[in-house]
Homo-oligomer: A and B are copies of this chain.
Amino acid sequence: MGDTALRIIPLGGLGEIGKNMMAYEYGDDILIVDTGLMFPPNDLPGIDYIIPDFQYLYDKAHRVRGIVYTHGHEDHTGAVRHVLERIPAPMYATPLTKGLLEVKLKGDKVLRNIPIHEVKAGQRVRIGAFTVEFIHVTHSIPDAVALAISSPEGVVIHTGDYKFDQTPIDGKPTDFAALASYARRGKGVLALLADSTNADKPGWTPSERVITPALEAAMREAPGRVLVATFASLISRMQQVAEVALRLGRKIAFVGTSMVENARMARKLGYLRIPDEAWITLEEALNLPPQEVVLMVTGSQGEPSSILGRLAGLGGRGRRPFNIEAGDTVIIAAHPIPGNAENVYRTINRLIQRGAQVLYDPVAQVHVSGHASQEEMKLMLNLVQPRYFIPIHGELRHLVQHARLAQQVGIPKDRIAVVENGQVIEFRNGQMRLAERVPGSWVFVEGGVVSETSIRDIWDRQDLARRGLLLVEVPVSAATGRLAGPIEVITRGFSLPDGGEEFIGLLRKRIKRTLAKGSSGDVEKTLTSITQNLAYNELRRRPIVLVFLKPQSPIEAGNCEQGA
Q: A548, B548: Cβ atoms under 8 Å?
A: yes
Q: Is there an interface contact between B46 and A447, defined as CB atoms closer than 8 Å?
A: no
Judge whether B349 and A396 touch: CB under 8 Å.
Answer: yes
Q: Is the CB of B556 within 8 A of A353?
A: no
Q: Is B352 a contact of A400 with CB atoms below 8 Å?
A: yes
- Residues from 390 to 447 in A contacting B, C-beta threshold 8 Å: 395-397, 400-401, 420, 446-447
Chain B residues with CB under 8 Å of A362's CB are: 200-202
> Which of A202, A492, A549, A563 has the most C-beta atoms of chain B within 10 angstroms of its own C-beta?
A492
Please determine whether A550 and B553 come into contact, CB atoms closer than 8 angstroms: no
B553 and A447 contacting across the interface, CB-CB below 8 Å: no
Q: How far is the CB of A423 from chain B (nearest CB, A)?
A: 12
Measured between C-beta atoms, what is the minimum distance from A75 to chain B in Å? 17
Q: Which of A37-45, A62-70, A136-144 contacts B (4 or more CB under 8 A)?
A: A37-45
Question: Within 8 Å of chain B (Cβ to Cβ): is A28?
Answer: no
C-alpha gap A564/B467 in the complex (Å): 50
Selected contact of A557 from candidates B446, B464, B469, B556, CB within 8 Å: B556
Closest chain-B Cβ to A561's Cβ sits at a distance in Å of 6
- How far is it, in angstroms, between the C-alpha of A495 and the C-alpha of B454 when the chains are bound? 8
Flag A10-53 by CB within 8 Å of B: 1 or 0 each.
00000100000000000000000000000001110110000000
A525 within 8 A of B: no
Which residues of the partner chain B approach A400 to less than 8 Å between Cβ atoms? 352
Which size class do A's interface residues fall under? 35 or more
A495: which B residues are within 8 A, CB to CB? 452-454, 457
Complex contact B492–A464 (CB within 8 A) = yes
Instruction: Name the residue on B nearest A339 (C-beta).
Output: B342
Alpha-carbon distance between A346 and B16 when the two chains are bound, in angstroms:
11
Decide if A342 touches B43 in the complex (CB within 8 Å).
yes
Q: Which among A172-180, A230-238, A260-268, A538-546 touches the partner chain?
A: A538-546
The DSSP consensus for interface residues of chain A is mixed
Docked CA distance A546–B453 (Å): 20
The B-contacting residues of A in range 465-494, CB under 8 angstroms, are: 465-469, 471, 473, 478-479, 490, 492-494
Is B551 a contact partner of A548 (Cβ separation < 8 A)?
Answer: no
Most buried by B among A45, A338, A339, A471: A45
Alpha-carbon distance A41/B446, docked complex (angstroms): 24
A536 to B449, CA, bound (A): 12
Residues of B contacting A552 in the complex (Cβ-Cβ under 8 angstroms): 551, 553
Question: B556, A560: Cβ atoms under 8 Å?
Answer: yes
20 A-B residue pairs with CB within 8 Å: A15-B346, A15-B349, A42-B42, A45-B465, A46-B467, A46-B494, A447-B536, A452-B497, A453-B495, A460-B468, A460-B492, A461-B464, A461-B493, A464-B468, A478-B557, A550-B551, A551-B551, A556-B561, A557-B557, A560-B563
Q: For the complex of A and B, list the 8 residue pairs with the smallest distance between their C-beta atoms, beginning with the closest.
A: A560-B560, A447-B540, A45-B465, A465-B465, A557-B557, A553-B553, A478-B553, A46-B466
Contact of A345 with B349 in the complex, beta carbons under 8 Å: no
Closest chain B residue to A498, Cβ basis: B452
Per the 8 Å Cβ criterion, residues 364-402 of A in contact with B are: 395-397, 400-401
